[in-house]
C-alpha cells in the first residue's frame, strides 16, 4: 500500500452470501459497527454481495433489517451479485459458508485466491463450519446469525488488525 497525505488506502472487505439479502448485509452492518466502535473507520471500506443475482437491486430481507435495528445497526445495503472486478478491488472477500467459498474459488483468478476467506474460520469457539442461512426460517434464525456474526466479525477484525500491525512493523524496520 502506498501512502499519501491522507494516509494509506483503507483495507477493502467484501462479505458474500447467496442472494445478498440475509447473511452478508448483516455481516456488513455488524463489521462496520465494530470498526466504528474501535475508531477504525478510515482504515476499512466494507461492502457485501451475493454469489447470485436473485435479489439484485433489492434491500435486505425485512427480518435482517429488523434484527439489525434491534441491535442498533442500520442494514442499508442493496443486493448485488459479486462481479469479476471485486476480486481485484477488495483486499479480502469473506464467504459465509463453504458453498460460497467454492463458488468464489471457481471464479477468482488463481493469483488472487489468497484473498478468499471463510467467516466461520473466525468463530471464537472454533466449532462453526458455516454461517447458517436463516432465509427459510423465522426471526430466531436471524438472531442466531447476528450472534454468530458478532463473534466472527471480532475475530476477523482482530486478524486484519494484527496483519496490518505486522506489516507496519516489517516496513518500519531499518534495512542495512
- Is residue 22 part of the annotated active site? The answer reads no
Count Cβ atoms below 10 Å from residue 148 Cβ, excluding itself: 23
User: Alpha-carbon distance 86 to 68, whole Å?
Assistant: 25
3-state DSSP helix/strand/coil % of the chain, to nearest 5: 50, 15, 35
What's 59's DSSP letter?
B
Catalytic annotation, pick one of 91, 130, 133, 158: 133
User: Alpha-carbon distance 15 to 153, whole Å?
Assistant: 11
Query: What element of type H or E holds 45?
Result: strand 44-50
Helix axes 23-37 and 62-70, enclosed angle (nearest 10) = 20
112 within 8 A of 85, measured Cβ to Cβ? no
Please state whether 90 falls in left (phi above 0), alpha (psi between -120 and 50) or beta. Answer: beta
Catalytic annotation, pick one of 23, 47, 63, 152: 23
- Is residue 133 part of the annotated active site? The answer reads yes
Catalytic annotation, pick one of 17, 22, 108, 152: 17
Residues catalogued as catalytic: 17, 23, 133
Amino acid at each position: 500500500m502506498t501512502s499519501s497525505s491522507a494516509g494509506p488506502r483503507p483495507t477493502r472487505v467484501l462479505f458474500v452470501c447467496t442472494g445478498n439479502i440475509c447473511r452478508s448485509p448483516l455481516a456488513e452492518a455488524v463489521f462496520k459497527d465494530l470498526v466504528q466502535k474501535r475508531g477504525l473507520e478510515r482504515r476499512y471500506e466494507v461492502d457485501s454481495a451475493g454469489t447470485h443475482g436473485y435479489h439484485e437491486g433489492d434491500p435486505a430481507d425485512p427480518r435482517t433489517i429488523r434484527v439489525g435495528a434491534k441491535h442498533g445497526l442500520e442494514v442499508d445495503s442493496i443486493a448485488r451479485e459479486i462481479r469479476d472486478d471485486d476480486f481485484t478491488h477488495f483486499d479480502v472477500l469473506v464467504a459465509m459458508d463453504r458453498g460460497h467459498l467454492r463458488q468464489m474459488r471457481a471464479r477468482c483468478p488463481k493469483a488472487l485466491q489468497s484473498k478468499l476467506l471463510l467467516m466461520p474460520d473466525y468463530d471464537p469457539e472454533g466449532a462453526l463450519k458455516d454461517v447458517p442461512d436463516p432465509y427459510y426460517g423465522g426471526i430466531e434464525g436471524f438472531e442466531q446469525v447476528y450472534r454468530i456474526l458478532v463473534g466472527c466479525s471480532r475475530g476477523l477484525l482482530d486478524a486484519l488488525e494484527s496483519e496490518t500491525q505486522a506489516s507496519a512493523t516489517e516496513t518500519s524496520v531499518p534495512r542495512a
